[in-house]
Structure 1
Amino acid sequence: MALYDDPAFLAGYRELRRTGLGLNDELEIPAMEALLPSAAGLRVADLGCGEGGLAVRLAAAGASVVAVDASASMLSRAVQHPQIRYLQADLAQLDLPESSLDLVVSSLALHYVDDFTGLVGRVARWLVPGGQFVFSVEHPVVTAPVEAADRVVDDYADEGLRQRTWFVDGVIKYHRTIGSTVEALVAAGFVLEALREPQPSPGQVERSPHLAVHRRRPPLLLISVRRG
């Protein structure tokens, strides 16, 4: 069963999004939008699309989108749009036609992927020359500790599986350093265009005090690369 098909997890996640107490609205969505090209006429894949928020924004801007997620529950709630084709698939096995895409995006999903290098290699094949890959993940300083901690950077060099309690016990994520993430992209033939670590402004923290911890260390890493 996919993580987001667990009823307890799904209930917690949806409540987080409903209340706006996560990172999405304040930090991740604006940071992602700043890196995306004009979508009009683009062929796009959204990896780990969830309920389709990013896919819908791209489709509304004129893109044709294949939106992929492993969770049947998330896809059942996805917003329908004539320019979006939803596909239930595990990213570990997903394959798409070679040179069929202009843009690949992923919002806070790839830290759940074990074989990041393998996925990056497939993304490079799916993109046309000059095609763009833009994604966000939990920042490695957050995923690093073997024992979960809010403010302590520990075990940073020890990459691999981490287990966390997030709504339910045993949530599996994969820690990678910034260096190995960028090296995997470069090895696949990508050229780095942007690497950003968004943090809330003092004004955002004043309006939304739950964001205060993220002034102490960056919660997100966003990368934009282009196929050479």
Structure 2
Amino acid sequence: MKQNIYDNPTFFEKYSSLRNSGVTYNDFVEQPAIKSLISSLKGKSVLDLGCGDGRFAKYCIDNVATNVVGVDISSKMIEQAQVENMHENIKYLCMPIEDLDLPNEKYDLIISSLAIHYIEDYPALLKKVYALLHNKGEFIFSMEHPIVTARKEMNNWVKDDDGNRLHWALDDYHEEGKREQQWYINGVIKYHRSVSTLINGLIEAGFTIEKIIEPQSIPVGIQQMPKIINEKRRPSFIVFKAKLR
């Protein structure tokens, strides 16, 4: 069964409040990294997998993309997108990414921001993405770094008696599969994969890997969110850019 934590009222309220604050790891680390890998949006058709509230879809249109299709499993997120980030050249679809079926459609750019670690069948996803891209089309996606998802307890900072962070504990790295954690609610499920599995999956699916980023914060993030300096000690995210061969 595909997970839909974003329609949980408690999760949705707390997550939306966090994102709307503008002071998050997304704002200062992950989104700048994804945007830095986009060669151009002008005249491009874009598919946004896990589009959330649609702010990235709107960013694409504001930067002269021709059209955007945003897909998300959460009806609450899609409803918010249709209110806050609607445009005549954006279409939102409420469905799991795994169930997406767009016969005869092709895109210049497929983006996925922090959604793929929720997908159980990584090879099947890559096959779907490959089929939806134009020749020389780009696939850019971010996910939680395998260093973050590896340890089964997903409680990795080792602290002293005063709560100071001493070091990051890494364990269970090569034991891939389901991880479960508490994040606003209990039972949030993610799927851990090693870096080599992520890279080899892209190669085996027919992609050429152009760049991989393990991003740190942009300067303003360190000013507004001092704890983000810990990104220098271990990365929260990994971002891939791949193309059709």
- Asked whether the equivalents of residues 210 and 242 of structure 2 are also in contact (C-alpha less than 8 Å), the reply is yes
Which residue pairs with 1:19 in the alignment?
21
Unpaired runs of 5+ residues, structure 2, are 157-167
Q: Could you report, residue by residue, the CA deviation over 1:17-61 in whole angstroms, capped at 9, with x for unpaired residues?
A: 123342111111111110012111111100000001111111122
Letter in 1 for 2:43: G
Which residue pairs with 2:142 in the alignment?
136
Do residues 76 (structure 1) and 93 (structure 2) align?
no
- Tell me the matched-pair count: 228
Do residues 195 (structure 1) and 212 (structure 2) align?
yes
Q: Which has the larger radius of gyration?
A: 2
| 1:54-69 correspondence runs (5 A) | 54-63=56-65, 64-69=67-72
Letter in 1 for 2:16: R
* Mapped partners of 2:5, 2:170: distance in 1: 26
The alignment's TM-score, normalised by the length of structure 2, stands at: 0.89
Change (3 A) 1:99 1:163: same
State the shift of 1:89 in Å.
Answer: 1.0
- Asked whether the equivalents of residues 51 and 57 of structure 2 are also in contact (C-alpha less than 8 Å), the reply is yes
Mean Cα displacement is larger for which, 131-140 or 33-42?
33-42
* Mapped partners of 1:45, 1:90: distance in 2: 14
User: Among 100, 112, 115, which residue is 2:118 paired with?
Assistant: 112
Do residues 153 (structure 1) and 170 (structure 2) align?
yes
Change (3 A) 1:44 1:201: closer
Letter in 2 for 1:116: Y
Change (3 A) 1:122 1:10: same
Which residue pairs with 1:171 in the alignment?
188
Letter in 2 for 1:146: K
